[in-house]
Chain A
């Protein structure tokens, strides 16, 4: 096994333990626990058997497994940024509503 594989696997174990402890403390919902678990398991499979990505890559017409992983990662990252942006917009307008209420109330 390559050193990089060991490092990633150690990180995965750490991430899973962290999520499980979050679940026990009630900070992580069961749905979130399962989705994180599925994600980390997928990453573990890819780490131990990198050739599996090649199989999916060929299926989608991408030359190399590593390329597919990078394409997918970029798509996921863009999606996450978009979600965060939407959330920020929501928070911004919530703050405005609070400021407005305070302003209107203090005048009465």
Chain B
């Protein structure tokens, strides 16, 4: 079974090497989507023997994720994981993310940071809950962590996703697609490591507001 890890990365030179090395202990096929980074992200990832796809210009998380998933499918991946480049995920969580898919209990697995007692800052916890509510209200799909970056898809799920959003709103869009395509979803509790660095990479209040507006537009968008 071919398993690929997709890491969308924009200016992540500080963390990318460690993230790739940690993942390599579990999975060898790593695709880094360098989303028009201005630092050495792409070069460092290549040195770590990751497969690097570089966007000419920065397109945002959604753009990078969809490129990575498509690239993995081109490599004939059977299972595709998405993994944040900022170092907030633990590679040790990978085996339990894959297990439900290997046992064909689920088409999609989402690593939820809300199911276990994580040391998530309260404002971040609130932001995730608001994200969950918006996702539920707009798309009728509920998960405990709609904004998680750690996900696993089987081939069928990965190739059926229709992703059109460019930025952070992609996380909720994926939940919407899971619901729309009637994919079997399983949530697995994961640990998240919060550093000042990973927090600075997340959404602040205004970005969150913009994300909400984009999701509203997505809801009413014509095909």
Contacts and interface: CB of A to CB of B under 8 A. Distances in A.
**Chain B facing A: main interface SS:** mixed
A102 B71 contact: no
A104 interface: yes
Interface in A70-105: 85-86, 89, 92-93, 95-96, 99-100, 102-104
Contact of B166 (A86, A92, A102, A103): A92
A12 B220 CA distance: 36
Interface in B63-98: 63, 66-67, 70-71, 74
A49 B70 CA distance: 62
Looking at B53, B63, B166, the one whose CB has the most chain A CB atoms below 10 A away is B63
Contact of A100 (B66, B165, B214, B221): B66
Given A100-B70, A103-B67, A89 B221 contact: yes
A96 B63 contact: yes
A86 B221 CA distance: 8
B1 interface: no
Given A93-B166, A96-B166, A103 B221 contact: no
Given A92-B166, A93-B166, A100 B67 contact: yes
A98 B115 CA distance: 38
Contacts of A107: 53, 71
A96 B71 contact: no
Nearest to A95: B59
Nearest to A90: B221
Contacts of B54: 103
27 contacts: A85-B217, A86-B217, A86-B221, A89-B221, A92-B166, A93-B166, A95-B57, A96-B59, A96-B60, A96-B166, A99-B57, A99-B59, A99-B63, A99-B67, A100-B55, A100-B59, A100-B66, A100-B67, A100-B70, A102-B56, A103-B33, A103-B56, A104-B67, A104-B70, A104-B71, A104-B74, A107-B53
